[in-house]
A and B are shown apart, each in its own frame.
With several copies, the nearest count.
Chain A
Amino acid sequence: MNKITILREAVAELVHDGDSVALEGFTHLIPSVAAHEIIRQKRRDLTLIRMTPDLIYDQLIGMGCAKKLIFSWGGNPGVGSLNRFRDAVEHGWPEPLEIEEHSHAGMANRYVAGASNLPFAVLRGYVGTDLPKVTNTIAPITCPFTGERLMAVPALNPDVAIIHAQQADRRGNVAIWGITGIQKEAALSAKKVIVTVEEVVEEFEPRPFQIVLPSVAVDAISVEPGGAHPSYADGYYDRDNAFYSAWDPIGRDREKFRDWMERHVLGTEDFSAYMESIRKEEVVR
Chain B
Amino acid sequence: MTEARTNDKANGSYTTDEMMTVAASRELRDGSVCFVGIGLPSEAANLARATHAPGCFLVYESGTLGAKPDVLPLSIGDGVLAEHADSVVSVPEVFNYWLQAGRVDVGFLGAAQIDRFGNINTTVVGPYDSSKVRLPGAGGAPEIAASAREVVVILRQKPRAFVEKLSFVTSVGYGEGGDSRKELGYTGSGPTVIITDLGVLRPDLETKEFTLVALHPGATVEQAHEATGWELKVAENVTTTEPPTEKELEVLRDLKARTEAARK
Contact = CB atoms under 8 A, between A and B. Distances in A.
A72 B142 CA distance: 11
B169 A128 contact: yes
A111 B143 contact: no
A185 B91 CA distance: 9
Interface in B56-83: 57, 61-66, 74-79, 81-82
Contacts of A258: none
Contacts of B75: 27, 77-78, 239
B134 interface: yes
Interface string A58-81: 000000000000011111011111
B206 to A, nearest CB: 20
A3 interface: no
A185 to B, nearest CB: 6
Interface in B212-264: 262-264
B172 A127 contact: yes
Contacts of A263: none
Interface stretch (A15-23, A35-43, A102-110): A102-110
A104 B142 CA distance: 9
A178 interface: yes
Contacts of A238: 79
Contacts of B170: 129-131
Contacts of A28: 62, 77, 79, 82
A217 B140 CA distance: 22
A179 B82 contact: yes
A103 B142 contact: yes
Interface stretch (A4-12, A82-90, A249-257, A270-278): A82-90
Contact of B134 (A85, A171, A209): A85
A209 B139 CA distance: 24
B82 A178 contact: yes
Interface string B71-103: 000111111011000111111100111011111
A184 interface: yes
A216 B67 CA distance: 13
A178 B88 contact: yes
A102 B142 CA distance: 10
A130 B168 contact: yes
A202 interface: no
Given A26-B77, A180-B63, A242 B100 contact: no
A281 B61 CA distance: 35
B90 A245 contact: no
Interface residues of A, number: 73
- For A51, A74, A181, A242, the residue with the greatest tally of chain B CB atoms inside 10 Å of its CB is A181
A215 B86 contact: yes
A149 B97 contact: no
A126 B262 contact: no
Nearest to A101: B137
Given A90-B131, A103-B140, A212 B86 contact: yes
B83 to A, nearest CB: 9
B200 interface: no
Contact of A103 (B66, B76, B97, B138): B138
A153 to B, nearest CB: 12
B57 A214 contact: yes
A45 interface: no
Contacts of A86: 133-134
B171 interface: yes
- For B78, B128, B262, B264, the residue with the greatest tally of chain A CB atoms inside 10 Å of its CB is B78
Interface stretch (B14-22, B149-157, B181-189): B181-189
A173 interface: yes
B33 A216 contact: yes
Contact of A182 (B74, B92, B101): B92
Contacts of B262: 241
Contact of B100 (A27, A105, A213): A105
Given A78-B74, A124-B147, A241-B74, A116 B100 contact: yes
Interface of A: 26-28, 51-52, 71-75, 77-82, 85-86, 89-90, 101-105, 108-109, 111-112, 115-118, 123-131, 134, 148-149, 171, 173, 178-182, 184-185, 188, 208-209, 211-217, 232, 234, 238-239, 241-242, 244-245, 285
Given A108-B91, A180-B88, 13 more contacts: A71-B137, A81-B134, A89-B131, A90-B134, A101-B138, A104-B143, A108-B95, A108-B96, A123-B95, A184-B90, A185-B90, A209-B87, A241-B262
Interface of B: 1, 33, 38, 57, 61-66, 74-79, 81-82, 86-92, 95-97, 99-103, 123, 128, 131-134, 136-143, 146-147, 168-172, 175, 180-181, 184-187, 262-264
22 contacts: A27-B77, A28-B77, A52-B76, A72-B137, A74-B136, A101-B137, A102-B138, A115-B101, A116-B96, A117-B147, A123-B143, A124-B143, A125-B143, A179-B88, A182-B90, A182-B92, A213-B87, A216-B57, A216-B66, A234-B79, A239-B74, A239-B79
